Each structure stands twice: as C-alpha cells, then as structure tokens.
Amino acid sequence: MVIPRDRYRVLEDDPAFSLLDLTRPGWMVQAACRGRRDLDWMDERSQSNVSACLEVCGRCEVRASCLAHFTAIPDQVGIAGGATAAARKVIRRAATKKEQSNAAS
C-alpha cells in the first residue's frame, strides 16, 4: 500500500499516528476506536467495558470492514467490528456451514 506524501503528513501530525498505520488496512485509520485508549478492547469480562466498546463500534463508519477483517482471524481476541470474540466465532461457523452447504449443492 502506497500512501501519498500529503496523506502521510496528515498522519504524521496526528498524535495517534504510529508507523504501524503504514502497514494496516487503510480503513483502520478511519475507525472510531482509533486512539481510544480509554477503553480496553481486549477485556470482555466487564459488561460495562463491553457495552462502551460496542457503543463506539455502533457509530463507526468502517464497522463492516473491521468485522470482516477480524472475523477472518480465528484467534483474535477482544471486541472488534461491533462483536466480541465469541460472536465472531458464531459468525465464522455460520459462514463455514453456508459455504459447505453451497459446495454440496
């Protein structure tokens, strides 16, 4: 992925910018959770934390891309794409069953 120099300057001036942004999918820069260090995206034990994270996800413009990306990573923990790890596991299973059903047809 090549980032135009003018786009790089915008990122460089952003306090949440890191060099990792250059290797991540482009939609991640637009994620509502980006820079939200006040929430623990890995902690699914606290219902209040999960609710707060899901609220941020609910307002996110790139939620669908995020969900697709993190659902494709089976061992990814935490909240992403508006879903917990357990919810993404259910989505993966349903997609696998659908693929198997389509293949059998």
What are the residue boundaries of the structural domains of the chain, listed by start? 5-104
Give the pLDDT confidence of 84-102 residue by residue, as tens digits: 999 999 999 999 888 888 8
Query: If you search the block for the tokens 């699914």, which residue do you land on?
Result: 44
- Amino acid identity of residue 36, one-letter, is R
Look at residue 74 and tell me whether its pLDDT is greater than 50: yes
Q: What is the dihedral of CA 19, 22, 25, 31, to 10 degrees?
A: 50
The neighbouring-strand residues paired with 27 are: none
Q: What is the mean pLDDT of residues 62-78?
A: 94
What DSSP character marks residue 8? H
Angle at 29 between CA 25 and CA 30, to 5 degrees: 115
